[in-house]
Chain A
């Protein structure tokens, strides 16, 4: 039975993909090896995980302004997350998603996204409608 969750109206296209979830924060500059497409910051909870084409579900956007250019640069090389789901983002992540046309949503009515979603969930993200649907979930 699909589960429907409600968020603020987001940015970018509707997409379907597989969630990669952690109760941690995010900056493209601080956390990623953008050549290899993996989380490279040793202390990040997703260290070593491949983020390409995954729907990243994380707590907050942090630090640095570089993410605004870096999402665009990663999208040009098709080594970019398919969508971004956060509890609440800073302006940089929103600006970057708008510039790169990457799906982004935040501010969920149902609570903490890092608890609502699980790694491996198949999700449909509809930013214009402010909706995320959990299509399938392993038992």
Chain B
């Protein structure tokens, strides 16, 4: 890779050990992907929950964070993805004191770098949305696919170590979605049926993601007759990124760059209609099963989604053998508290957690403690992930999830 004088100084350790580690890590990744040079970034977003970090990852952060302040401070605004512990509710979820202690150590280390603890995977809805052409080092696949597609920003998937490195150096290797040549549509889909709710938008995303497969495929989805809202695109994108490894999609007339990158030679179209959506949902059907836990999250809920949960629960009581958990960002939780939405949800017996996501919260351990197996959600991303943690997931609309939580069984 071509390096500037400043980058060579970082590599030589002249700007401290954190920046030396950071740029050497970035060069290893950049050379693997044949990056010619670095591109400056305006923000970094770090996924760093302790279930992923473990003791080894926390020690790594603590070692770098022990450097002098001028050497360890991030150079661009750097924010965090959801964490594994909400200190206000972790005991209610059956999480342990050792988990809370490890989380606190990670938070202390991240703050020492100057990282802003936003603890959210919906920063594009709640913090500072990027703009078209904005080069970023975003973690969380859902954040990347939404930011690239809807806003026209430029980011690869940046895992926690790489996002931290980008924060420390203020740049990232120029490969993948930092290059226009990667933005052209390579797969074409035609939507023959408008999804009815967020779970169905997720199902369409899952179908597209599964059909696309690799990170380097870019779907264009045509035939959308009404503009989907932000939450619909959020569920579509997170599912596509989860069921495949998709980091960018185009929707003609809706997304930021479709006019530039989709007018290539015609691609054969895959049609997605009612039958395909129903078949996708049916993969997770379990009617009549005892229901252990209902989760709304992955991605964290917007204010509008929180309000929909509150409305669905008004005047009702969750079954005593079922737990209902809502996860959202700290900003939305504050708003929900202020507007009385949290109280309405918790009056029904549910838990509203801030700054976490379910699968990043020691999902295997809390399943064992709480004897949870059957999980129900409207999140396609969550049903895709959680099977590996020992759960049996069911996918349904928000309203049917709530009805099932009240009944204590899958309806």
Contacts and interface: CB of A to CB of B under 8 A. Distances in A.
Interface of A: 8-11, 25, 29-33, 35, 40-44, 60-70, 72-73, 75-77, 88-92, 94-96, 98-99, 104
Can you list the 6 inter-chain pairs with the closest CB atoms, starting with the nearest?
A: A68-B159, A76-B56, A73-B54, A90-B215, A41-B388, A69-B52
Q: What secondary structure prevails in chain A residues at the interface with B?
A: mixed
B52 A63 contact: no
20 contacts: A10-B32, A29-B52, A33-B364, A40-B390, A62-B243, A63-B385, A65-B47, A65-B160, A66-B47, A66-B360, A69-B48, A69-B52, A73-B55, A77-B56, A88-B216, A91-B33, A91-B176, A92-B159, A95-B29, A96-B161
Interface string B359-383: 1100010000000000000000000
Given A29-B52, A73-B57, A95 B162 contact: yes
A72 B60 contact: yes
A40 to B, nearest CB: 5
A88 B389 CA distance: 26
B49, B161, B213: most-surrounded residue (chain A CB, <10 A) = B161
Nearest to B144: A65
B52 A66 contact: yes
Nearest to A12: B28
Contacts of B53: 69, 73
B236 interface: no
A64 B29 contact: no
A71 B229 CA distance: 37
Chain B, interface residues (CB within 8 Å), range: 35 or more
B241 interface: yes
Contacts of B47: 65-66, 68-69
Contacts of A41: 387-388
Contacts of A60: 213-215, 245
Contact of B57 (A30, A65, A69, A89): A69
Nearest to A99: B161
Given A88-B214, A91-B159, A92-B159, A65 B140 contact: yes
A30 B388 contact: yes
B243 A91 contact: no
B25 interface: yes
B76 to A, nearest CB: 18
A129 to B, nearest CB: 14
B388 A94 contact: no
B57 A29 contact: no
Contacts of A77: 54, 56
B157 A90 contact: yes
Contacts of B28: 11, 98
Nearest to A61: B245
Contacts of B215: 60-61, 88-91
Nearest to B27: A98
Contacts of A44: 388
B158 A95 contact: yes
A4 to B, nearest CB: 21
B384 interface: yes
B242 interface: yes
A9 B32 CA distance: 7
A73 B159 contact: no
Nearest to B138: A65
B47 to A, nearest CB: 5
Nearest to B57: A69
Given A69-B57, A73-B56, A42 B387 contact: yes
Contacts of B216: 88
B25 A99 contact: yes
